[in-house]
Amino acid sequence: MANSRYQFQALGLAAVIEFGLLAGAAFALTSTSSMKPVLSGSETITLVSQDQPPPVPKPKPQVQPQPKAQPKPQVVPEEPKPELPQVAEAQANAFTEPTPPPPVAVAGNAEPSAEYAAKVRAAVQAAQFLPPAAYSLHYTGRVKVEFHMRDKVPSAVRLLVGSGIGMIDRVALQSVQNAKYPEPPPEIQGSDHVYQVWVEFSRE
């Protein structure tokens, strides 16, 4: 009898536990259905895409400053220059402008005649002599000399065309100094003239 009593208590306890579990499950289902949100068909949901760049603000136009107007230069009238008297201008020209030197009178501007020039050349040629060494070598040639002469006095004797032999050139220059010149004509007396003479050397 004791065993059957314990079995009856265990069955009752199991039934109570099962009833409790069923009641808890029903309560959980009821609370879950009440928490669902009710969606209304009239509302629209707008999705914003994050890929689109934000709008760029337009740059404001720059206003360039206008240049300031420069003041116009004032024109100062020139004062009239005083006119100088003609006497002062003449004195200024006399000091600033060089005056040409007065012409110098040259005495004896006349050139020697061809006849007198020939006599001078003949006098130089007659004064030349052939050195013994050149004579033994049978030397022949000529030397050109130039000299100034005033009133039968030669000066500034120089060699224009030499012979290449020093003793021959020296003899030609010495012939100008040793020559006996004729009396110059009156129109060339007291004046200086230049003569060029060929001195001939030959063995005769």
Residue 161 lies in a domain: yes
Residue 145 lies in a domain: yes
The number of distinct structural domains making up the chain is: 1
Residue 21 lies in a domain: no
Cβ-contact 138, 202 below 8 angstroms: no
> What pLDDT is attached to residue 97?
44
Cβ-contact 101, 184 below 8 angstroms: no
> What pLDDT is attached to residue 22?
79
**What is the DSSP secondary structure assignment for residue 190, as one 8-state letter?**
T
For residues 168 and 129, what is the distance between their CA atoms, to the nearest angstrom?
9
For residues 121 and 123, what is the distance between their CA atoms, to the nearest angstrom?
5
| Exposed / middle / buried, residue 28 (Cβ in 10 Å: 0-12, 13-18, 19+) | exposed
Inter-helix orientation angle 114-127/166-178, to 10°: 120
List the CATH number of the domain containing 178.
3.30.1150.10
Residue 105 lies in a domain: no
For each successive 10 residues of the chain (204 residues), what is the average pLDDT?
A: 63 76 74 50 49 64 67 68 52 44 49 91 92 83 94 94 90 94 92 93 76
Residue 189 lies in a domain: yes
Q: What domain range includes position 135?
A: 114-201
Residue 79 lies in a domain: no
pTM: 0.45
Residue 31 lies in a domain: no
Cβ-contact 188, 108 below 8 angstroms: yes
Residue 93 lies in a domain: no
